[in-house]
Amino acid sequence: MFKLNFLTRIIFVFAILASLTLTSCDSKISGSVAVYEKGGEYAEYDKVSEKIKESDIILFGELHNNAFAHWAELELTKLMYNEFGNKLMIGMEMFEADDQMLIDEYFSDLYPAKNFEDEAKIWKNYSTDYKPILEFCKKNKIEFVATNIPRRYAAFVARNGLEKLSTLSPEALKYIAPLPVEFDSTLKGYKVMKGMPVHNNDIKYLAEAQAAKDATMAHYIAKRIKSGMKFLHFHGSYHSNDYQGIYWYLKKQNPNFKITTIATIEGPKIDSLGTENANIADFILLIRDDFTKTY
């Protein structure tokens, strides 16, 4: 029987469970975080565990500077590894596809962490927020996938549009979703971006650059996942909110993928999700906006 006792206790932070006695630390956290399910009701243990059990892919949308979200990601990684062992795969927006060789070499102990960190395009909050997950994967030989489009090509799309990707070299295109990248400008996330005033030609096609990221992350998830595996992917929440972005492209590639989405949002209170966020994901992690930031 699939049980995620610690998941409900630590990650999804229910305030009261029959089997749970809150410590002072738990009480502090439970006053800062609440988890809702799609529709706006408080998430129930059985629904959380069964949804993950049945899923091929778990899309965990974070807020990049939220300390609790990063802690939750690490704990979820540990818990899923304890449950699924070598059937677990991890992927991240925070690593670009052309860094995959560096990751593979580092995991094979070809060189120490300093060399890896000097050469990989790590984010400024890597050491506090993403390194613990990567190092856990390295230690436990969990397959780790760099899924994002290299930033230089995302910037290229922002300036020139998706159509111009065809002018790149075959070597460059190896790190991007197969062309042509479908772009549905009516999807909410892209529509909002297209509606933003543009004062800089370097971001004239910002929505298309976002689509290039989403499509590439979905491409690498679909390409690398194996039958019977669980692929846990971390990315900014906007990349999968409203069942769009990565989710949309994954379903385009394989409608049979079973996907769980988790969104992270902040607010001054945690006692109500609000109608505007009630349906953005299967589970919504609502964190008080005064919780610690990592940058």
Q: How far apart are CA 235 and CA 59, in angstroms?
A: 8
**Residues in Cβ contact with 248 at an 8 Å cutoff, skipping those fewer than 6 apart:** 184, 187, 214, 218
Parallel/antiparallel/unpaired status of strands 259-267 and 283-288: parallel
Q: pLDDT tens digit string along 19-43?
A: 222 233 343 445 788 889 999 988 8
Place of tokens 């890896």: 116
Class of domain 35-148+220-288: alpha beta
Strand order in 57-62's β-sheet?
Answer: 33-37, 283-288, 259-267, 57-62, 230-236, 88-96, 143-148
- pLDDT at position 254, please? 97
User: Beta 88-96 vs 143-148: how paired, if at all?
Assistant: parallel
pLDDT at position 22 is: 28
Residue 10 pLDDT exceeds 60: no
The pLDDT of residue 29: 46
**What percent of the chain has pLDDT above 90?**
75
Give the pLDDT confidence of 188-210 residue by residue, as tens digits.
999 999 877 776 777 899 999 99
pLDDT, tens digit, 9 for 90 and up, residues 73-132: 998 999 899 989 999 999 999 999 999 999 999 999 999 999 999 999 999 999 999 999
Separation between Cα atoms, residue 111 and residue 196, nearest integer Å: 45
pLDDT score of 7 more than 60: no
